[in-house]
Amino acid sequence: MTGAAPRLKLKAQVLVGEAIALGPGKADLLAAIAAHGSIAAAARALGLSYRRAWLMVDAMNRLFARPLVATQAGSRSGARLTAEGSDVLAEFRALEAALATAAAETPLLGRLVRACASPS
């Protein structure tokens, strides 16, 4: 990996005990549900199985105080973000942006560049 510039990646995860209530993948799923209007369509767009997407939604709805996604019972269509879901998604995206800014501005990377530089 010589010559590759060092980079810092910070990943946000909201945990409840050991369970991941929200992370980048679940945030992407929320955004896809908002865009496509169903869990099935969101799953297809993200390359997930419907079952995996449904389990992710179920976990989020159980772990947050209020549901993030509203569905029609017994239907694979008609899912939408609740007001809480929209707020949580916006807050998580803001957190991700703040982490990206922090990662780009840390002097730690400058130290890595010097440490990885080949002696002349």
Helix (H), strand (E), coil (C) string for the chain: CCCCCCCCCCCCCEEECCEEEECHHHHHHHHHHHHHCCHHHHHHHHCCCHHHHHHHHHHHHHHCCCCCEECCCCCCCCCEECHHHHHHHHHHHHHHHHHHHHHHHCCHHHHHHHHHCCCC
Q: What pLDDT does residue 104 have?
A: 84
For the chain, list the domains and their CATH numbers. Answer: 15-96 (1.10.10.10)
pTM: 0.84
Q: What pLDDT does residue 29 have?
A: 98
Q: What pLDDT does residue 74 have?
A: 63
Query: pLDDT means per 10 residues in the chain (120 residues)?
Result: 73 96 98 96 97 98 98 76 98 96 83 57
